[in-house]
């Protein structure tokens, strides 16, 4: 995915368009030409207000563990994934769990499991 296309999509901030970017970018990260770029975009989108965008960006961290074998800012990414595990949205929690599984497997990370609140 060309960087200028990603930049334009980020400027438009259309969730239907943004939700595809972290998946496509993390499955084929441009690490040789732009080290850490895919992770940077996933970090930005992991706090997006739209749950689909946020969930896919968090899932992107797991893809990067598998495809690139590196996380450039592990403290930030760990915090984002752990926040995703406790996200109020079920979709985001599911994507975060998948990312956490990949981070545990490929990078040997240990991630905190969130405490589940009992139903009200």
> What is the crossing angle of helices 74-85 and 51-67, to 10°?
130
Residues 6+ apart with CB under 8 A from 72: 35, 36, 39, 40
What pLDDT does 15 receive? 98
Q: Are 102 and 66 in contact (CB under 8 A)?
A: yes
**pLDDT given for residue 25 in this prediction:** 97
Give pLDDT tens digits along the chain (120 positions). 899 999 999 999 999 999 999 999 999 999 999 999 999 999 999 999 999 999 999 999 999 999 999 999 999 999 999 999 999 999 999 999 999 999 999 999 998 776 655 555
List the chain domain ranges: 3-107
pLDDT at residue 120 in the model: 52
Other C-beta atoms within 10 Å of 83: how many? 16
**pTM for this structure?**
0.93
């Amino acid at each position: 995915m060309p960087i200028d296309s990603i930049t334009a999509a980020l400027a438009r901030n259309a969730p239907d368009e943004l939700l595809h970017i972290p998946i496509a970018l993390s499955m084929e990260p441009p690490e040789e030409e732009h080290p850490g770029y895919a992770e940077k975009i996933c970090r930005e989108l992991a706090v997006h207000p739209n749950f689909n965008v946020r969930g896919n960006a968090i899932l992107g961290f797991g893809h990067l563990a598998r495809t690139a074998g590196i996380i450039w800012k592990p403290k930030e990414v760990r915090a984002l994934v752990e926040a995703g595990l406790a996200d109020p949205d079920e979709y985001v929690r599911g994507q975060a769990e998948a990312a956490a599984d990949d981070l545990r497997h490929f990078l040997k990370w240990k991630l905190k499991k969130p405490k589940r609140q009992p139903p009200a």
